[in-house]
Structure 1
Amino acid sequence: MTSIADKRRAFRKLHESGCFVLPNPWDIGTTRYLEQAGFAALATTSAGYAFSRGRPDGAVGRDEMLAHIAELVAATDLPVNADFEAGYAADPAGVAESVALCVATGVAGLSIEDATGDAGAPLYALDAAVARVRAARGAIDAAGGGVVLTARAECYLVGRPDIAEVIARLTAYAQAGADCLYAPGIRTRAEISAVVEAVAPVPVNLLMPGALGFTVSDIAAMGVRRISVGSTLSRVAWGAFMAAVEEIRGPGGFETFRGAVPFAEINGLFRADADRRAG
């Protein structure tokens, strides 16, 4: 197995130039498939994991999420970035405690959101949000550094699609020690380019929640360093599952089964993977 230190060095190196895709598995099987598919790094998805447990996003507690993150880190030789939601605490000290526990799982990176979960005040005030990023940075540094800290401005996801506020928040988070910046919800070429240009040279992560009409090459040309897909791969899987169930439940057909991966193919893939790891 690749050492934790090597994974962290490799992940940080990916942020130095070019553009890479950071897909989001939600269990060991999807993690190992994505590793075999040739990706350079992976990221957890809080929503994808929650759905697999029959819960909505945000309903998984810190200890369970830490166990899930540790399981995926141990399942692959690739660097893993943790979707660590809002740090499972409101105050900076609590964020620091949670981040230290996340670092101990062996992650190569982690992200912290500025959303509060309160519909009446959906974002932390900027000063408080900056203090939370500083606390996360301090916890990472105290643990020996190496983990890439991504700070997220959740403006677009909480109904405040103000690109000026996004840029102001991301700029402040970079000054507070974030290594990578992320504004999930921005979708247009103008929005993406504005963020990239405003925070340069700090790397930017772009969320692809669906088909926005851009290819990886298009996104790279805009200056984005990292592309993640959040819960989208898990929702693609859920879409196929639900379509098959509806066909059985409704007309009583099985035509959707034509899209199933042959048993021998997927069984052989995981048998070969198990043999490789055992050898």
Structure 2
Amino acid sequence: MSKVDAFRALHRNRPPGDPLVLPGPWDAASARVFEEAGFPALATPSAGVAASLGYADGATPADEMFAAVARIARAVDVPVSADVEDGYGLAPKELVERVLQAGAVGCNLEDSRGGVLKDPREHAEFLAEVRSAAAGRLFVNARVDTFVHGDKDPGRAIERAALYVAAGADCVYPILAPAAVLPLLRSGIQGPLNALARLDGEGWAGPSPAGLGELGATRVTFGPGPQRRAAAALQGIADSLKE
């Protein structure tokens, strides 16, 4: 079985309360830690990678992002999905080839640019072209930014999701959707549903991954949370070295 087929299989037939948990490595070292911990696949966070490269979220040049993803994918044997933001303005065929050349088997593509939601039908057409160019070689996770840059209306998120699923998206990711609306989103969205688990200090700022699974999530990712917690731990080490 190819890595992309293995990655797709991980999303199928998930029982409630047992979502696919995908930690987000920001460099090769963190990727190896997650792999050695036993996670079956990984999903890079663009914000975490940006921080590791010294950029603000959304400011990483495409070449540097793809190079970082390549280092992560090369360091581990498990499948890696890459957050490639809004596609960096690349044509679908070039975007697909860049992701594949980096060694990733999946990608996140968000439906906003510069803090503004894209026209959902135009974005659906873009996703369809990506899907066609990939010819089954990539798992496409369509991020829905209604709860980040839109009016936070679950109905509008469902409408966008339906267009993206019809365009061939393998999974839909309504990032920052409140836990309370996940059951509604689950009932209105076909196929796998990605939810964000938020880390806070030493615990969860909201439901745990299992809790999100009970609410309808098929898979759970963490954004830059692990990288930020690691940075906080490193700050503690730095402070102790000064004493």
Same fold? TM cut 0.5: yes
SS of 1:73's equivalent? Answer: helix
User: In the alignment, what sits opposite 1:233?
Assistant: 226
| 1:243 Cα deviation after fit | 4.6
User: In the alignment, what sits opposite 2:12?
Assistant: 16
Residue segments in structure 1 that go unaligned for 5+ positions in a row: 255-279
| 1:95 Cα deviation after fit | 3.5
CA contact (8 A) 1:12 1:146 kept: no
| 1:9 Cα deviation after fit | 1.8
| 1:169 Cα deviation after fit | 0.4
Give, as a single letter, the amino acid of the residue that structure 2 aligns with 1:26: W
Structure 1 consecutive aligned stretches of length 4 or more whose deviation exceeds 4 Å: none
| 1:209 Cα deviation after fit | 2.6
CA deviation map 1:168-198 (0-9, x unaligned): 1011100000011101011223x11111111
| 1:230 Cα deviation after fit | 1.0
Write the distance in 1 (CA, Å) between the matches of 2:179 and 2:12: 24
CA deviation map 1:205-261 (0-9, x unaligned): 11113323323332222231110001000011122233555x56xxx974xxxxxxx
User: In the alignment, what sits opposite 1:108?
Assistant: 105
Identical aligned pairs, as a percentage? 33
| 1:159 Cα deviation after fit | 4.7
User: In the alignment, what sits opposite 1:265?
Assistant: none
Larger strand share, 1 or 2: 2
User: Is 1:205 paired with 2:205?
Assistant: no
Change in Cα spacing, 1:86 to 1:69, as seen in structure 2 (3 Å) is same
User: Is 1:131 paired with 2:125?
Assistant: yes
1:153 to 144, 147, 165: 144
Provide the aligned length of Structure 1 versus Structure 2.
Answer: 235
Name which structure has the greater RCO, CA cutoff 8 Å, separation 6+: 2
| 1:203 Cα deviation after fit | 0.2
SS of 1:152's equivalent? Answer: strand
Change in Cα spacing, 1:27 to 1:57, as seen in structure 2 (3 Å) is same
Q: Quote the RMSD (CA, aligned, Å).
A: 1.8
SS of 1:40's equivalent? Answer: coil
SS of 1:150's equivalent? Answer: strand
User: In the alignment, what sits opposite 1:65?
Assistant: 65
User: In the alignment, what sits opposite 1:165?
Assistant: 156
